[in-house]
Structure 1
């Protein structure tokens, strides 16, 4: 089984230079492939594959343009993977799975450098350090987190909010399947609470309502307003020394905003990890969830922010991965299944149930139960589903 581990690293100053140079070249090659393909398609109505672009880049473009020799100063595997990522984005667009590929911006810091394991010494993992191709040994901030006795297949390093990260894909041969299981459960995801489990009385809370998250969101608004004012100030200034100083202050302010975003993201991800871990460690024989139309929910401008902060898609991905590791069957019920409208006691369907009705009152058997709790019980008892 392949497992991914991501952790923060502590590179030296020389290694930081190599990392930034590699990420910069990968971003340039990604954008260059997009623009080159767009230009060729408009002129000749044909698509240039990643392999053909790589051959043209190394055999024609760079030899005829010596000013671009700096492309070869970084690892060739990272450059090749950047081209393949751009090709994958184009193929997703042609299949109708995604929008047209967008250029990667430096300030977004969404570029990763990929390195496969070609030699025996590549991606060697020890308790406190990892050996990255072309970079060498790098210290880990969190010692003992990455599995040391597994077989490393590949890895990437990235830079986000002033911090450096490494992610490795390891083949783990250990069997984590439970020996015995308890009864199956249903999970209803919501906005008031993150997850309502059928066999638990208290739901898993919404982390966005905590004091720490609200404090960080207020701080984020203040820092974003400061950044907006700096941009407005820059528009009014000429290209002089004062303007250059303002640009430097803008970069500092961008870094502040990114750090707060990263902090909020870490808090939400940690809460999801803890929630999924508690659910799985209860050893249910199966887990049933609903196939939520998250994109459709985001179109409601009154709920869009609350839905995005709950990270439903991330929750489903992590739950699916954990169920696969521990041998738990994950059942997915169709999104049109009326889990909230059906009485979990007698099966009566209450068609006039509104979104504002937080308590389910059955007119047939008189059952009074929380709306979300009723939905979770119905999901646990669902007979029509598909296995993830």
Structure 2
């Protein structure tokens, strides 16, 4: 099975190499901002001409924002815009133009995505991507070679990637150099030939209910504690933030540059945030890897995380738990390990449904941490009850086979008319509402069921 996989390594750059990487990242930013200004100027001109009553064929000709068109426009103007363009690799300018082309396409395809913005030299994350030229891992596995940047030293060994390259089961497609939390990293986008694998228990089904009190509650009864990395580091982050405000920072209005002490304080704050992100990432990878390798079927919910973040009391805790990241990692890891991921519908009342008799409550307050069924007198932890309901969805899909999927979910909110709990019979999914969405070649089943 061929798949696209990324290998990320920390770099140990010399001051000269860091200046070269920053120059390439600056070239990418210049190309991006120039092309964006060109596209925006034409769009603003056409919008102004429409207010004059001009017809469409009388307007200023539009410009194409595809990557080939942006490249042609840049090559024609680069001598005037950036006379120093020969000092950097052509891949640096292509990085900025490609990012703009993707951003404009996403904006045009979905109005929910905002229009691309100009990149600031101080606020933008320095990054550059290489797709052509000499990109390889040295035989000593402690150095990599990139175009125009030469031989770069790694903090850690690249033996895992080197073994695949030597065996012929991997092919490097691109490399990206990026600075995160004050440290430089190189990420290789690799086409990998992965061996077919099976979970340790192929017939096992586990429902995963994510939350804030516990990071995940499994239908097996296991409670995965929430480490709360951001909450634990909050005191230090606040102290570093106050220390930075006492230094002379940048001032856009006057053009004042930040002092050395302010820059050092900002670097310390960035490293503290990066440590929190690394701890969170490490814990999530360990959890999702264990679930994907052990169970054949994993069932999760399609949560409205954006809507949950509007709760000002829980927004920080929800963001720290990273619900969407858990689902994203499970999507490709279940595929790699020969399992499947089932995504329950967003309106499926997993918390309000009794896992014993299928009775559904009309209303269940968030403060009620125990589920008490009025029909069968079942008393169970709220999250464990939801996890068991998610696990039961897999059996309904297996029973339905290739036909309509039976489910107990809902495509709308549970009515809040103060009704008593009633027994809900399994219904049938609406035609065309159930399908399979394979991310990266995987098997992810989304369950959309209608309440009856």
TM-score by length of 2: 0.77
Match of 2:287?
275
Asked whether 1:220 is paired with 2:237, we answer yes
Q: Deviations over 1:39-80 (max 9, x none)?
A: 121124524424333222222x23345xx2223311102311
1:4 aligns to 2:24 (yes or no): no
With a CA cutoff of 8 Å and minimum separation of 6, indicate the structure with the bigger relative contact order: 1
Partner Cα separation in structure 1 for residue 124 and residue 80 of structure 2:
30
Quick check: which one's helix share is greater?
A: 1
- Which of residues 202, 211, 214 in structure 2 aligns to 1:193? 214
Q: Does 1:112 align with 2:114?
A: no
**Quick check: 1:109–1:159 contact (8 Å CA) kept in 2?**
no
Q: Distance in 2 between matches of 1:286 and 1:341?
A: 23
User: CA-to-partner distance for each residue in 1:332-359, whole Å, 9 max, x for gaps?
Assistant: 1101000001111111112231111100
- Name structure 2 gaps, 5 residues minimum: 48-61, 165-169, 397-406, 408-433, 437-443, 445-452
Alpha-carbon distance, 1:272 to partner: 0.6
The match for 2:356 is: 345
Q: 1:152 is paired with a residue of what secondary structure?
A: strand
Shift in Å, 1:28: 2.0
Q: Deviations over 1:314-349 (max 9, x none)?
A: 111111111111111111110100000111111111
Q: Is the 8 A contact 2:207 2:387 kept in 1?
A: yes
* Aligned equivalent of 2:413: none
Which residue, out of 50, 65, 79, partners 1:63?
79
Alignment of 1:122-271 (within 5 A): 122-124=135-137, 126=139, 127-144=141-158, 146-148=160-162, 149=164, 150-178=170-198, 181-199=202-220, 201-208=221-228, 213-230=230-247, 247-271=259-283
Equivalent position SS for 2:359:
coil
Q: CA deviation at 1:97?
A: 4.3
- Matched position secondary structure for 1:183: strand
- In 2, the alpha carbon distance for the partners of 1:238 and 1:34 equals 26
Structure with higher Rg: it is 2
- For residues 11-90 of structure 1, what are the structure 2 equivalents within 5 Å? 11-44=13-46, 46-49=62-65, 50-59=67-76, 61-64=77-80, 68-90=82-104
**SS of the residue 2:172 aligns to:** strand
Contact 2:293–2:337 under 8 Å retained in 1:
no
Structural RMSD (CA): 2.3
Measure how far apart 1:92 and its partner are.
Answer: 1.0
Structure 1 residue 371: Cα displacement: 0.4
Match of residue 363 from structure 1: 374
Q: For the residues of structure 1 that align with 2:254 and 2:308, how far apart are their CA atoms?
A: 45
* Structure 1 pair 286–76 and aligned structure 2 pair: CA distance change class (3 A): same
The one-character-per-residue Cα deviations of 1:235-294 (angstroms, maximum 9, x if unpaired) are 7x998xxx76x6332222221211111111111111111111221222x12111100011
Q: Shift of residue 205 of structure 1?
A: 1.2
SS of the aligned residue for 1:106 comes to: coil
Q: CA deviation at 1:125?
A: 5.4
TM-superposed CA distance for 1:181, in Å, is: 1.2
Contact 1:151 1:170 in 2 (8 A): yes
Contact preservation (8 Å) 2:291, 2:298: no
Cα separation, partners in 2 of 1:205 and 1:26, compared to 1, 3 Å: same
Q: Say whether the 8 Å CA contact 2:241–2:269 is kept in structure 1.
A: yes
Residues 302-321 of structure 1: pairs in structure 2 closer than 5 A: 302-321=313-332
Pairing 1:377–2:404 present: no
User: For residues 234 and 278 of structure 1, what CA distance do their matches in structure 2 show?
Assistant: 46
Residue matched to 2:116: 101
Whether contact under 8 Å (2:173, 2:189) holds in the other structure is yes
Taking the aligned partners of 1:286 and 1:330, their CA distance within structure 2 comes to 6
Rate the CA distance shift 1:108–1:263 in 2: closer, same or farther, 3 A.
Answer: farther
Where 2:122 maps in the other structure, the secondary structure is helix
